[in-house]
Amino acid sequence: MGVFPDCTVFPDEGALSYASRAGVSTRDATTASFYEAKALMAVRPVLKMGHPLLARVAPPVERFGTRELRDLVVDLDDTMRALNGAGLAAPQIGVPLRVVLFEVDANPRYPHVEPVPYTVLVNPELTPLGDETEEAWEGCLSVPGLRGLVPRYKSLRYRGHDVEGRPIDRTVHGFHARVVQHEVDHLDGILYPMRLRDLRNLGYEDTLFPDGLAVPPD
Ligand SMILES: [Zn+2]
């Protein structure tokens, strides 16, 4: 741990996953010099509810395809994977920019959850399609251990850009629409407990779901 001062969360998994994707051997990754190790490390601490950065409205990204933006996405990606999250927003790792990342693979732990394609979304804009909402359980890496029953629009169109500035324009429904709404709320300083209709529908995951069936946090 001593050589990874900037990384308090699962440093080894982060280094190894980055190393495997970058095509370097795990031995090289784990024996790299201090500065090389720092460059490989991309798992960042996730801010928790109560931190003032989570309550701010984040400003838009003004330049696409920059080294800073690409590095930010690598950090978001490694942090989300290390924590088994469904998504992560830049403010959650202390970066006040309108950037979110999400992906949900088919997972036997969450058999009722539909897969969502890997997406990096910069400067997103959401347009609900209709007024219809539905409630479902959500969790959040910034609100660890809890789950809440959150109303969201069932269908929406979202637009934005990828890291290189290429446009993204999708119409989605159900769980995919829910994940996007949760992540984009982070860019406006909103955490899911603020969306609950009834605070009695907020609780600890291990008490609400003793059999472990819930949704991945994002
Ligand atoms: Zn969240």
Residue ranges of domains in the chain: 1-43, 46-208
**Lookup: tokens for 200:** 């009695």
Per-residue three-class SS string for 133-162? EEEEEEEECCEEEEEEEEEEECEEEEEEEC
Distance 217 CA to ligand 1 centre (A): 7
Chain-wide mean pLDDT for the chain? 85
Which residue numbers are catalytic?
Answer: 183
Distance 106 CA to ligand 1 centre (A): 20
CATH among 2.60.40.3080, 3.40.640.10, 3.30.200.20, 3.90.45.10 for 46-208: 3.90.45.10
| Sheet with 133-140: strands ordered across | 133-140, 143-153, 202-204
Q: Per-residue pLDDT tens for 88-104?
A: 999 999 999 999 999 99
pLDDT at residue 39 in the model:
53
Structure confidence at residue 215 as a pLDDT band (50, 70, 90): confident
Distance 205 CA to ligand 1 centre (A): 15
Which has more confidence, 40 or 44? 44
